[in-house]
């Protein structure tokens, strides 16, 4: 079992993470020649019980796009969104009820293409542990809190292929695909700054 830090260590940890995100930016994936729709997500982080956590969401099985998948809150850019950050914050508010002013944006991860023809820019932000969530039932089936220091990689056979996934605790939730790539980048930063 990993030794946890006192809750007062949270602001210091997130301050170091912010500095590292700016000093050592994540690599952007390439997608030459592809025409992709812009999208953005937010990895909402918080400090609980002496360790950093991230909120993920599971989409309802009734949705036409990405049913049942686990992802960060986010979606496609709309004409009123001035920047990808506006997209990420708007979508997070629509999906989880977290207002933009409740998010301290730390930085961003490397943008990447998805197999569903999106070009996704992932942002990292911090929210207070006690922020009241108001999940939109039309878009969110479950809000999932993932302990960053306890994520582990496993191999799973999904969609006719062996894939690396992230699981934690009892491995009830499985994160793969583009969200796996985003979490991998985030964990590189988390591991680089230490505890």
Q: Which residues of the chain are modeled with pLDDT < 70?
A: 1-8, 61, 63-68, 157-159
For residue 163, list its beta bridge partners.
156
Q: Which of 142, 104, 143, 107 is nearest to 122 (CA)?
A: 107
Beta carbons of 65 and 53 less than 8 angstroms apart = no
pLDDT of residue 32: 79
Burial of 126 (0-12, 13-18, 19+ CB in 10 A): buried
What is the reported pLDDT for 2?
Answer: 47
Which pTM value belongs to this model? 0.91
Render pLDDT for 139-164 as a digit per residue (tens, 0 to 9): 899 999 999 999 999 887 666 778 88
* The CATH number, out of the four listed (2.40.50.140, 3.30.450.20, 3.90.79.10, 3.40.50.150), of the domain defined by the range 9-27+35-193: 3.90.79.10
47 bridge partner residues: 52
Q: How far apart are CA 51 and CA 146, in angstroms?
A: 11
pLDDT attached to residue 121: 97
Give the residue among 172, 141, 146, 176 at the shortest CA–CA distance from 158.
176
Buried b (16+ CB within 10 A) or exposed e, 51-82: bbbbbbbbbeeeeeeeeebbbbbbbebeeebe
What are the angstrom distances between the C-alpha of 135 and each of 13, 18, 140, 188? 27, 27, 6, 29
Place of tokens 């999932």: 144
Residue ranges covered by each domain of the chain: 9-27+35-193
The pLDDT value given to residue 76: 94
What pLDDT sits at residue 82? 97
CA nearest neighbour of 42 among 101, 78, 86: 86
């Amino acid at each position: 079992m990993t030794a946890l830090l006192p809750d007062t260590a949270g602001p210091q940890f997130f301050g170091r993470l912010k500095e590292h995100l700016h000093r050592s930016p994540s690599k952007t994936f390439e997608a030459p020649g592809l025409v992709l729709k812009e999208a953005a997500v937010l990895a909402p982080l918080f400090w609980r019980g002496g360790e950093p956590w991230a909120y993920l969401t599971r989409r309802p099985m009734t949705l036409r796009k990405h049913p049942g998948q686990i992802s960060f809150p986010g979606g496609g850019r709309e004409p009123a969104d001035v920047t990808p950050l506006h997209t990420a914050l708007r979508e997070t508010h629509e999906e989880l009820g977290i207002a933009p002013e409740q998010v301290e944006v730390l930085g961003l991860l490397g943008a990447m293409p998805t197999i569903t023809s999106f070009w996704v820019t992932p942002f990292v932000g911090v929210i207070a542990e006690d922020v009241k969530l108001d999940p939109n039932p039309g878009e969110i089936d479950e809000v999932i809190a993932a302990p960053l220091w306890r994520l582990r990689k496993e191999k799973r056979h999904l969609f006719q292929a062996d894939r690396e996934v992230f699981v934690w605790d009892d491995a009830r939730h499985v994160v793969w695909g583009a969200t796996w790539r985003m979490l991998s980048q985030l964990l590189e930063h988390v591991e680089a700054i230490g505890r």
